[in-house]
Structure 1
Amino acid sequence: MAELSVRSVLVTGANRGLGLGLVQHFLRMPKPPQWIFAGCRDPKGQRAQELQNLASKHPNIIIIPLEVADPSSIKAAAAKVGEHLGGSGLNLLINNAGMVKSNTLDTETLEDMSEVYTTNTIGPLLMGQAFLPLLKKAAQGSPGSGLSCSKAAMVNISSIGGSISSFFGWDIVEAAAYRCSKAALNMLSKCQSLAYKEHGILCVALHPGWVQTDLGAAAGHPPPMTVDESVQGMLKVLSSLSEKDTGTFLDWEGNVVSW
């Protein structure tokens, strides 16, 4: 299996959980990316301390202030990433930032539904739009035909909770806003795959498993998987993707998840 080899990657929500795990695993690669852009809402806050410590030891980590629910923040982040990359493009965009509100269907509110949907669905839409020029540039600058994550790719971290044909975890947590936002993210991933294929960009939705993160524990039950297990699996899957996989919904083991 080919090793995932990227010159540049951007991970949103990189200060904790899966985002931080992804940054750590990119650093451990035999050939780490030249640029690891770590997007987080409050780079100087307490919750970003571990990321700050990591960045102080690794000059290839560039912390980018990024609030995915704020179009002006996304625009500023794209400009900053573009400056660092100079004339080259961005190989891999991982839309990882997400949120959950553990409401029941009866207690769901307009405000919570809107907030969750804005972060989980509209954020990846706007990120895709803002970073498309840099992804296109990476695709154009990569040799060979076909699609791959080493060339240019947009990866949306989704959830089996967004699978309409599955009712995974319903008896534990209803979280209708989260489920609806991830189902919509899956459709967005499909739309992006159709729109961006001609530009040489691979697009997938990825279910990371039920992972031991703040978000994963929001249901009040201990999740079975560690961040390391999830991230190792996801990176292995990303290294194996090709043109036939664009527009699919996969899990951390590479299995197709039903829509």
Structure 2
Amino acid sequence: MESRDPSKAVLSPSSVLVTGANRGLGLEFVRQLLQVPKPPQKLFATCRNPSDAQELRELAAQHSNVRILRLDVENVASIQEASVSVKEQLEGLGLNLLINNAGRAIRNTIHCESEETMHLLYQIHVVGSLKMGQAFLPLLKKAAQTGPQDSLSCNRAAIINISSNAGSLTEVEGWEYGHCLSYRCSKAALNMLTRCQALALKEEGILCTAIHPGWVQTDMGTSSAFVPHLKKEESVQGMLKIFSTLSEENSGGFYSWEGKALSW
């Protein structure tokens, strides 16, 4: 993936929203966004149960720009309520960067996969990301209209969908470690959603990209059969570096945390 002009490759969105911010990659996104040279003025960290998110609440207590919101991506009403709250807190400004990170993996095989699990993971990864994009579109459009008009970027207005190479039809990564059928199918569908969002929102000035974070040492990524080598700190550091370089030519693309273009 080609980078922007190095002098411009600095991630500095004024406002960011991260879903699934109570643990794993989501919490690490919040931590590292607070450490960039120019942290977001408003960093909305969302999760289903803020009262249980001890580490996130400790971060918010130390940083006034962190705003914790209750948001359940499985619940459309919850998404809509969060969008209203974010709009109020932005006080007339737009939302620059939406990171659809919330996710689940269920290790069913192709022989025992259930209708319920398939529905659940499609609801989280596909429908949830779709509804997030719809609910926050007015705020993303506002950011796009007031930002630099010459190109697409994460500093202007962007939707980043955290996907997985496990959903690549070509790679089917990690099959030997588990079928995870509902996870794979829903991530493949999320990739198509990303392509559609990119095509539909390009004229609105909004960048849309799918990112594979690698197979990371998190509660979701680790199983009894396999412990990944990649740490969440390294994955998020790599992803944020990629975010800073994304431009119009990358909208609708699928990239790894290291910036490698991936096969659909």
Question: Structure 2 length as normaliser, TM-score?
Answer: 0.96
Q: What fraction of aligned residue pairs are identical, expressed as a percent?
A: 56
Counterparts of 1:9-158 in structure 2, within 5 Å, are 9-45=16-52, 48-158=53-163
Are the counterparts in 2 of residues 172 and 219 from structure 1 also a CA contact under 8 Å?
no
- Following the alignment from structure 1 to structure 2, what is the Cα–Cα distance between the partners of residues 240 and 6? 13
Q: What's the CA shift for 1:219?
A: 6.3
- Following the alignment from structure 1 to structure 2, what is the Cα–Cα distance between the partners of residues 219 and 114? 25
Deviates more, 1:211-220 or 1:85-94: 211-220
Write out per-residue CA displacement over residues 192-216 of structure 1, whole angstroms, 9 at most, x where no aligned residue: 0000101000000000000011111
> Does residue 237 of structure 1 match 2:242?
yes
SS at structure 2 position matched to 1:247? coil
SS at structure 2 position matched to 1:203? strand
Write out per-residue CA displacement over residues 23-68 of structure 1, whole angstroms, 9 at most, x where no aligned residue: 00000011110000001000002xx110011101111000010000
- Following the alignment from structure 1 to structure 2, what is the Cα–Cα distance between the partners of residues 60 and 218? 35
SS at structure 1 position matched to 2:149? coil
> Does residue 208 of structure 1 match 2:201?
no
Write out per-residue CA displacement over residues 164-220 of structure 1, whole angstroms, 9 at most, x where no aligned residue: 011211111100100000000000000000001010000000000000111111464
SS at structure 2 position matched to 1:44? helix
> Does residue 162 of structure 1 match 2:167?
yes
- Following the alignment from structure 1 to structure 2, what is the Cα–Cα distance between the partners of residues 15 and 218? 20
Match among 181, 186, 191 for residue 186 of structure 1: 191
- Following the alignment from structure 1 to structure 2, what is the Cα–Cα distance between the partners of residues 90 and 231? 21
Runs of 4+ in 1 over 3 A off after TM superposition: none
Look up the match of 2:181.
Answer: 176
- The aligned amino acid for 1:66 is L
- Following the alignment from structure 1 to structure 2, what is the Cα–Cα distance between the partners of residues 167 and 61? 37
* Structure 1 alignment gaps of length 5 or more: none
SS at structure 1 position matched to 2:211? strand
- The aligned amino acid for 1:59 is S
Question: Structure 1 length as normaliser, TM-score?
Answer: 0.98
SS at structure 1 position matched to 2:160? strand
Look up the match of 1:255.
Answer: 260
Are the counterparts in 2 of residues 139 and 151 from structure 1 also a CA contact under 8 Å?
yes
* Structure 2 alignment gaps of length 5 or more: 1-5
Look up the match of 2:13.
Answer: 6
How many residues end up aligned between the 2 structures?
A: 257
Are the counterparts in 2 of residues 173 and 219 from structure 1 also a CA contact under 8 Å?
no
